[in-house]
């Protein structure tokens, strides 16, 4: 199941997951064999985010440089947010990162170094587990519960505490808020406030629309198994895109308050994936993002900011969606990227 590789520190050993094997383990959506112990979305009523710790100077997890570690996928839009905030705040030397393989079989997210073609993106690309040497991300979840038995969903991002050896949080909205505010003592950009108090009501109101109807709405359409569910998801996605296109018609540079905020960070990863994945793979084909001039100009402006562009790996994104979601794309064929001009 795993290979042993010498780690960076003396005597340390890092485990690498065995290659993706759909025949043995099935897919994350229909796992087989030993992978059945932790199926995707286990239990319709299960709490998808059982770890909700917060970084708090007076709490169990106080801010410290070098103490915390992020587990992410470059393909996942929700994990992508944490990388954007980490880069914007200049926390690259403060918060470590390990990047899972974008392809998942029934065992879920796994660590494989491999011959990763995407390492050109700012030294990212899939890695082995730099914090614990785990082969599977599920091991981090198992290490964080009594008895080591975890049967819930294993998701990214994960914020890990290297001191206590447990997951702090897998709740992506709170992870970005904490990264953006609790490490200013060590941040390269301590004055950058992505969730300013005077704008919070406006940010929250916009997030309450974009979150369920666009960030999650693309999955409502893409994962639909009935025509009516697909059409409902399709409508909510394009209604939200139209609303945003109108909002940006006044020429504003950012969504709220004339400055970069959490609202932009939560929206942008979905926009970045739209033409490459959601338009075709999820059948959201009314138009491409490039056909919406205000939204496309906004998307390109943010891409030009290194924290956005340098953390965006369209190769891993396409490989993940087309190569993992075999219930939508049974052949696993990954198409080349459409021609997208990101330049301003």
Catalytic residue among 71, 76, 234, 321: 76
156 annotated as ligand-binding = yes
**Is residue 172 annotated as a catalytic residue, yes or no?**
no
Bond before 191 cis per omega within 30 degrees: no
154 annotated as ligand-binding = yes
155 annotated as ligand-binding = yes
**Is residue 150 annotated as a catalytic residue, yes or no?**
no
112 annotated as ligand-binding = no
Nearest partner of 16 among 117, 105, 132, judged by Cα: 132
- Known binding positions: 109, 153-156
- Known binding positions for glutathione: 109, 153-156
Write out the catalytic residue numbers: 76, 219
């Amino acid at each position: 199941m795993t290979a042993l590789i010498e780690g960076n520190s003396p005597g340390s050993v890092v485990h690498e997951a065995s290659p993706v094997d759909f025949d043995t383990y099935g897919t994350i959506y229909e796992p087989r064999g030993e992978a059945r112990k932790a199926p995707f979305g286990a239990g319709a009523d299960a709490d998808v985010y059982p770890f909700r710790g917060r970084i708090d100077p007076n709490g169990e997890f106080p801010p410290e440089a070098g103490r915390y570690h992020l587990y992410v996928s470059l393909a996942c839009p929700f994990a992508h947010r944490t990388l954007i905030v980490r880069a914007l705040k200049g926390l690259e030397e403060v918060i470590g990162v390990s990047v899972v393989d974008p392809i998942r079989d029934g065992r879920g997210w796994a660590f494989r170094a491999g011959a990763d073609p995407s390492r050109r993106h700012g030294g990212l690309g899939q890695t082995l587990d730099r914090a614990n040497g785990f082969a599977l991300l599920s091991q981090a979840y198992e290490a964080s519960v009594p008895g080591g038995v975890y049967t819930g969903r294993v998701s990214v991002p994960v914020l890990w505490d290297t001191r206590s050896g447990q997951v702090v949080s897998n709740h992506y909205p709170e992870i970005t808020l904490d990264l953006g505010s609790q490490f200013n003592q060590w941040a390269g950009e301590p004055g950058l406030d992505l969730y300013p108090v005077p704008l919070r009501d406006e940010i929250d109101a916009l997030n309450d629309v974009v979150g369920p109807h666009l960030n999650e709405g693309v999955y409502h359409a893409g994962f639909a198994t009935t025509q009516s569910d697909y059409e409902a998801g399709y409508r909510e996605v394009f209604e939200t895109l139209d609303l945003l296109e109108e909002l940006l018609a006044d020429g504003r540079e950012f969504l709220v308050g004339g400055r970069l905020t959490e609202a932009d960070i939560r929206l942008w990863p979905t926009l970045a994936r739209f033409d490459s994945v959601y338009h075709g793979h999820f059948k959201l084909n009314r138009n491409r993002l490039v056909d919406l001039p205000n939204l496309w100009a906004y998307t390109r402006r943010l891409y030009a900011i290194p924290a956005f562009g340098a953390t965006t790996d369209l190769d891993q994104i396409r490989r993940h969606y087309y190569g993992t979601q075999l219930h939508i794309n049974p052949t696993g064929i990954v198409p080349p990227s459409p021609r997208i001009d990101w330049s301003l």
